[in-house]
Amino acid sequence: MKLVFCGTPQFAVPTLEALASAGHEIQLVVTQPDRPSGRGRQLSAPAVKQVAGKLGLPIAQPQTLKNNPEFQEQLKGLAPEAIVVVAYGRIIPPWMLSLPDLGNFNVHASLLPKLRGAAPVQWAIASGETSTGVTIMRLDEGLDTGPILLQRRTPITNDDTALTLAPRLAELGAHLMLQAVPQIAAKTLEAVPQDHSQATLAPLLRKEDGLINFS
């Protein structure tokens, strides 16, 4: 399938590698701009950019998506069949949602509608959950509100932290997306609407979220 892939951190890398290894045509890898990092504040490339470079895939790092005619024309020219989004870190605008015939599809690190938002792995642990999972969903204009295509559950062990759980979920998400893509192409996957009444949120962590009340 002709795909555009959008992702930024290490969590997105297994899905990119799996799609490329399976022979899908990755027309473009879209990732966030390089950012200063470390004590020296040297520019550092996102993990997805580094891997895409090793795979010889074309890369784009737009500063914005919503009002970017040049990038919009670039994607229109590619005419992808679908767009795969994994931890990209930006809201996908309406023009991009409607661009591919098949739609935009996301790997989300929770069992939606639970833990919608940017930090589902951390909040699953902080909330004392004993299991979590990954969801393949079709993106819409809401925050992780689109219909569900596939889900898989995995346990959270007593020793798990975000650093141990996230890689497992990333690999599980890659496996699940690889399973979903041919069914998306064949239009054989049923998209099940989320039960919004059961939704919980997993917003970005704040410094005060780390405070402990020892009393």
Q: Does residue 192 form part of some domain?
A: yes
Question: What is the β-pairing status of strands 148-155 and 131-138?
Answer: antiparallel
Q: What confidence tens digit (pLDDT) does each residue in 43-98 have?
A: 999 999 999 999 999 999 999 999 999 999 999 999 999 999 999 999 999 999 99
Q: Does residue 215 form part of some domain?
A: no
pLDDT classification of 206: cutoffs 50, 70, 90: confident
Q: What confidence tens digit (pLDDT) does each residue in 163-174 have?
A: 999 999 999 999
Q: Does residue 209 form part of some domain?
A: no
Check pLDDT > 90 for residue 212.
Answer: no
pLDDT classification of 215: cutoffs 50, 70, 90: low
Domain that holds residue 108: 2-34+43-203
Report the CATH number that the domain containing residue 78 is assigned in CATH.
3.40.50.170
Q: Does residue 24 form part of some domain?
A: yes
Give the number of domains in the chain: 1
Q: Please calculate the CA angle 87-91-95 and round it to the nearest 5 degrees.
A: 125
Residues with Cβ < 8 Å from 44, sequence gap 6 or more?
34, 35, 36, 37, 38
Reported pTM: 0.94
Q: Does residue 213 form part of some domain?
A: no
Query: How far, in Å, CA of 48 to CA of 26, rounded?
Result: 13
